[in-house]
Structure 1
Amino acid sequence: MVNRESKYRIEATTFSDLDKMLILPSFQRKLVWSKMEKKNFIETLHRGHPFGSILVYKYPNETKLSLIDGLQRFTTIRDYRDNPHEYIPIENFIQELFNIISSEDLPRPTREHHKKIIEKSLKKFIASRDEKNSNSLALFELLKGDFEAVGVKVDKLEEIVKIQDKVINDLDGYLNIYEIAIPTIVFTGSDTELATVFENLNRGGKKLSKYQVFAAQWDKYSVKLSNKEYAKTLLEKTIEWYETLVEERGIEIENFNPESMQKDGEINIAELCFAFGKMILERVPVFWNFKNDDLANEIGYSTMAIMLEIRNKDLSTIISNENRGLFDDSDMLETLLYSSLAIYEDINRLFQKYLQTPGDPSNFKYSIGSNFQILSFFAAFWNTRYKLDKIQRKLQTINGSNRETKAIRSNLIKWYVYDILEGNWSGTGDSKLDQIAIEHNNKYLKEVSADTLNDSMQKWYDEQLQKRSINFEPVAKMLYTINASFNYNNYTATSYDLEHVIPKKLINKISTVHTIPGGTLGNLMFLDSSTNRGKKEQFMYNYIDDNIGVLTQEFIDLNYYPIKAQLTDVKIEIEKKGGDYSNTQSVIKNRGNSILNSLMKNLK
């Protein structure tokens, strides 16, 4: 076996040397360590304990090294150099000075105020201390001035000078940052591998998503945005995201200033992909929640990869020179954004009529589907409509694409149902996505035959009937919603709930040793919310008899509602507790088959 040549070397480099040779990410907007995390790290250095390495890389045509991983550690050391008073423990010195200047006999508010004055003066002394030009009376003069402002005389010069000497000794002996040996990994491979290397180094502790890895490493690759419509929205979404992190989550973000960002009009490629994802989510409420930041990353990066013909496992190559050239071309970037978002709007229009909840056309709570499945819909439309010429930087419309696009639209709802029933997108799904996005094996151009779809539905339903359940199963809710969409205008109330035909309370009386599929398709229906609240745990016939008088045929037909005699037999059977629940099972099974038969007719 041939050993691969290492793409890195490990060195122990002093902070003093690194401070001269390192380029820190100037464009990067990062979540930063809290004050406590910074203090704990400096305490680690003070104790002489080992700490994590930093990763550096020399980009082509640069004389200095770029810091890739370890920014928080390195900048904390630098912050200690500039602001040692924020790190060194001074509580004992505060108490010593308090005993000299003030008194424990004073009222508590006064004592606390005096200690705050001492703390302020002490930190000011440490921050302003110059080793080459030390003033032996500096601390005394600071304390004297600050206390005189509140009418307290400070005259214990000799004792304060002694404490100043002790502070200086502690300061000098606490930590010599210039001689700290920092474990340094120098990566010598390609810059496209940096994200993977970063991810491997950060496998311990808090798990980072690959998108967080890209965000940490792609700060170097910035894009100057134009004033065109979609480019401006990218910038707005990026600023909005950072402002949310700061205002709502209380997170500190380094190098973030909304005004300067707006003025400069510059974001990095990681931010571009995230903001692009946000724009997509807003256009596809049928399937996605636009407030989900992790989802915005996944969809933004993956969609960008589809357009650039990159396999999902190779997302790191989005930053290749060829692709960066597309982002830098303002017309090309605007065309990519406009064309892709138009496809997502088309997908949303196609599915919203099937998956909207009765009474509320903006509610899609019963839609399901994996992210890769929805991305595959985009890939099918994109590859049918467009061919991207990266060299000429042109997005070409493919001749005859209208006919194929129409075929995909016609077939997609059946494929959506069929693939969910078959579990074809379970697991990661990236290889299946690549078949459509990269290998152009566009199965959506072909129709799922009626026999194939019917067999899949029956197989799925037979499996559900063999399981005891009470809570509604997600696929059942989705199928029932799609079937209800073909009679959407008959649902005239403003709010509907999914309700059990055979009430939960009644099913729960049956011993768990018996298989009653109470949560599957044959036992669910849409019921207007007000009726549902009044009905409670009754059959509809009993509720109607008590309140209205007659259960209409329209209601029975719309909901495939069993006849009264059947439900009466079910109630007697359950309350008898004789161990034979064939009537209950039969009602659920037959009603579910009726719904599936109706769905098959509607989807033809």
Structure 2
Amino acid sequence: MAKQQQHADYSQMSFETLIKEIELPKFQRGLVWSAKKKRDLINTLNEGFPFGAILIYEQDGKNVLLDGQQRLSTIKEYRENPLAYWKPLNKDKYDSELLKLNEIVKENITEKNFDSMILNRNDEFDDWIDDLDNKEIKKPIRQIFNDIKKELSEFIDLSNLQIPYLKYTGDASRIADVFANLNKGGTPLNKYEIFNAAWSREQLKLGNSEYENEIIKYVERYYDDLAEDAQFELSDYSSDDLKSSRKVSVAEFGTALGKMIVDKMPALISNDASNEFGFGILGIAMNLENKKISELIAKKSQIQSNIVEILETANRLASVLNAAFSKILQRNHNSKTTKYETGLSTTFKILSYFAALWDLVEDSEDYIQSLKNMPAYYVMDSISNRWGSHGDQTLQDYYASSLTKKNYISAVEIDRFKSIFNNWLDEQTAGILFNAQIRAITTIHANLTYLSDELSTGETYEFEHVIPKSILAKYDTQPLKVLGGSLGNAMFLPKKLNNAKKANTLYDISGSFDDLIKQSHYFSESEFGEIFKNLEISNFGIVNNIIIERAHKVIDDVTRKLTETKF
């Protein structure tokens, strides 16, 4: 068997030499280690135990840090303020010395003052001890501080500290793979952070179009945020150079594209998924399946040639998709900040909308039909858990080159939609809280029916239990038996009315709510009578049947409206 070729050299370098020679690539994540994890590393160094090697790579004759920022930053922090680490790791010794000092001086010196004296900030210790009238106590006081300072100086010998490192010597195109394999312990980087580090010097040239200017702004914003907590100076970056050269790396371009698209799609995306969308959209544009996204770097020339088209198409699709889904996912009416319920959204599912529309002619029949049908698929695919696993492979089916080409041109069959919905309903479990799926479907139902413009104008609506939560909590105790957090017991009510209602029903509040009661399938007075009577005798089965019956009515509304309405 042939001997496997090694692509990395293992060695070590002194800490002081390393921080002078090392460069931090522009794309590094912010510091994410907790205080405990940092203390654990310092304690490991104090005890002389081995710790993980950092990963470096030589680019243009310079050693660039690819992995190890957290470790080096922590050691650098320790060098600048060793007391901040020594103190919690030696709390008994610290407390004992402070107590001894206060017994000598007959004062109440605080920890803050004690720390300042140890560090001798602004000559505070020297000034304080010079002012003491009792000369006999000066020597034992100095001894206390000398002992602590001696322990601090000997806790870790930074001048002789050797940092193990791996220097990758293989093909530059495989850096991301190497990075991923070496970074499985500790606080792992996701694959997009790996690409960011590995591709930091693979550059694209931007022009002066509207969206290219936006990309520049998003890259600037990224570095402004990163600069707040970076412990090493970023190499090869300045805002002025960026604006004048208009050159960004493939990594910068992908991340900035993602942030731009996410910002334009609040109706569908609520979390920070910018990298997934940026690189995912580049994969769609380059016809490169998502599970092979690490090969994007080989498409750099193609990306460069099509930058304007990629940006224009991505932004156009983001706008039309956001407009279509905002109508059904918008939550708060008449509020300054529009909120959306995105509990049915997944990254690959939304990327499939981009993939399905990417090569279609704008305003063509297939394009229009796809947009019309997507909201129904959005709900159906969620309740069937279609995107729950192997989402990257499912996404590939929507690419233009896929042999098993799928699309959204054909409308959802309403009978199949209802069947899937009813199967999902059968899996509802007892509880009192609404999960993200319930909140999203309740929002969709409300926007399609009783939160029409006629009913909701001028109101802000809030989620509410149809059977008041306080009543459920009174009768349904652990383990819970009532489907109180299910679809059949969820709806919206005007905020003012909701606050007044509390443990009451709409029938207990003065005013006319006939339209709201009818359009929302609110329980009738006789149904509430049955509910309350059976709650009192713990006959929860009948209560659940009434809730399920309303859920079926909601399902009928949602499936009918989504398959009939043009968004």
- TM bracket (short chain): 0.7 to 0.9
Match of 1:298?
Answer: 276
Where does residue 314 of structure 2 map in the other structure?
340
Give, as a single letter, the amino acid of the residue that structure 2 aligns with 1:274: T
Q: Shift of the alpha carbon at 1:220?
A: 1.8
What does residue 563 of structure 1 align with? 524
Q: Taking CA–CA contacts closer than 8 Å with sequence separation of 6 or more, which of the two structures ends up with the larger relative contact order?
A: 2
What is residue 498 of structure 1 aligned with on the other side? Answer: 463
CA gap 1:252/1:453 in 2 versus in 1, 3 angstroms:
same
Q: TM-score, normalised by structure 1?
A: 0.70
Q: Tell me if structure 2 keeps the 8 A contact 1:355–1:367.
A: no
CA 1:117/1:303 → structure 2, altered by over 3 Å: closer, same or farther? closer
The equivalent residue for 1:148 is none
Q: 1:211 aligns with which of 164, 168, 192?
A: 192
* Match in the other structure for 2:559: 600
Structure 2 residue corresponding to 1:573, chosen from 530, 534, 537: 534
Q: RMSD in angstroms over aligned alpha carbons?
A: 4.6
* Farther-moved stretch of structure 1 (183-192 vs 493-502): 183-192
SS state of the match for residue 569, structure 1? Answer: helix
Question: Does the 8 Å CA contact 1:27/1:219 hold for their aligned counterparts?
Answer: yes
* Helix, strand or coil at the partner of 2:269: coil
- Could you tell me which runs of 5 or more consecutive residues in structure 1 were left unpaired when the two chains were aligned: 90-103, 122-166, 386-399
| Structure (1 or 2) with the larger CA radius of gyration | 1
Letter in 2 for 1:439: S
Distance (Å, rounded) in 2 between the aligned partners of 1:315 and 1:13: 33
Aligned to 1:521: 487
- Rate the CA distance shift 1:485–1:182 in 2: closer, same or farther, 3 A: closer
Provide the rounded CA distance (Å) in 2 between the counterparts of 1:338 and 1:313: 25
> Cα deviations across residues 181-237 of structure 1 (Å, max 9, x unaligned)?
764534354322211211221222112211222222222223333332212211211
Conserved in 1, the CA contact under 8 Å of 2:446 and 2:491? no
Q: Secondary structure at the match of 2:523?
A: coil
Structure 2 counterparts to residues 358-373 of structure 1, below 5 A = 359-360=333-334, 362-365=338-341, 367-373=343-349
Shift of 1:520: 1.7
Match among 543, 547, 554 for residue 588 of structure 1: 547
Distance 1:596 1:38 in 2: 52
CA distance in 2 between partners of 1:594 and 1:85 (Å):
66
Instruction: Tell me, in whole angstroms, the C-alpha distance in 2 between the residues paired with 1:457 and 1:283.
Output: 30
CA distance in 2, matches of 1:501, 1:274: 43
Structure 1 contact 373–425 (Cα < 8 Å) conserved: yes
2-structure distance, mates of 1:600, 1:268? 45
Query: Structure 2, unaligned stretches of length 5 or more?
Result: 86-104, 124-149
Picking from 213, 224, 233, the partner of 1:254 is 233
Give the Å deviation of 1:495.
Answer: 0.4
Partner of 1:374: 350
Deviation at 1:587, TM superposition (A): 2.4
Instruction: Indicate if the aligned counterparts of 1:58 and 1:66 stay in contact, CA closer than 8 A.
Output: yes
- Distance in 1, matches of 2:485 and 2:58, equals 60
1:103-182 alignment, distance < 5 Å: none
How far apart are 1:411 and its partner, in Å?
1.9
AA aligned to 1:453 is F
Cα distance per residue 1:388-425 (max 9 Å; x no partner): xxxxxxxxxxxx98222122112212211211111111
**For 2:119 and 2:316, how far apart are their aligned partners in 1?**
62
> Identity of paired residues, percent?
25
1:309 to 262, 265, 287: 287
Greater mean deviation of Cα atoms: 445-454 or 3-12: 3-12
Q: Give the residue type in structure 1 aligned to 2:387.
A: W
Tell me which residue corresponds to 2:142. none
Over residues 64-97 of structure 1, what are the superposed CA-to-partner deviations in whole Å (9 max), with x where a residue is unaligned?
77664457878999x99xxx999999xxxxxxxx
The structural deviation recorded for 1:454 is 1.5
Letter in structure 1 aligned against 2:7: Y
Moved more, 278-287 or 452-461: 452-461
Deviates further, 554-563 or 495-504:
554-563
State the 1:455 CA deviation: 1.0
CA distance in 1, matches of 2:117, 2:487: 70
Q: How far does residue 446 in structure 1 lie from its aligned partner after superposition?
A: 2.5
Count of aligned pairs = 505
Structure 1 residue 284: Cα displacement:
0.7
Indicate conservation of the 8 Å contact 2:433/2:484, yes or no: yes
Cα pair distance change 1:574/1:6, threshold 3 Å: same
- How far does residue 485 in structure 1 lie from its aligned partner after superposition? 2.3
- Equivalent AA in structure 2 for residue 579 of structure 1: N
Q: Counterpart of 1:527 in 2: which secondary structure?
A: strand
- Distance in 1 between residues matched to 2:73 and 2:517, nearest whole Å: 70
Q: 2:416 aligns with which of 452, 455, 468?
A: 452
Q: Which residue of 1 aligns with 2:127?
A: none
Structure 1 SS opposite 2:556: helix
Contact in 2 for aligned 1:473/1:519 (Cα 8 Å): yes
For residues 183-194 of structure 1, the aligned pairs below 5 Å read 183-194=164-175
Aligned residues of 1:31 and 1:254 also touching (Cα < 8 A): no
CA displacement 1:361-414 (0-9 Å, x = unmatched): 8321355221111111111111435xxxxxxxxxxxxxx982221221122122
3-state DSSP class of the match of 1:303? Answer: helix
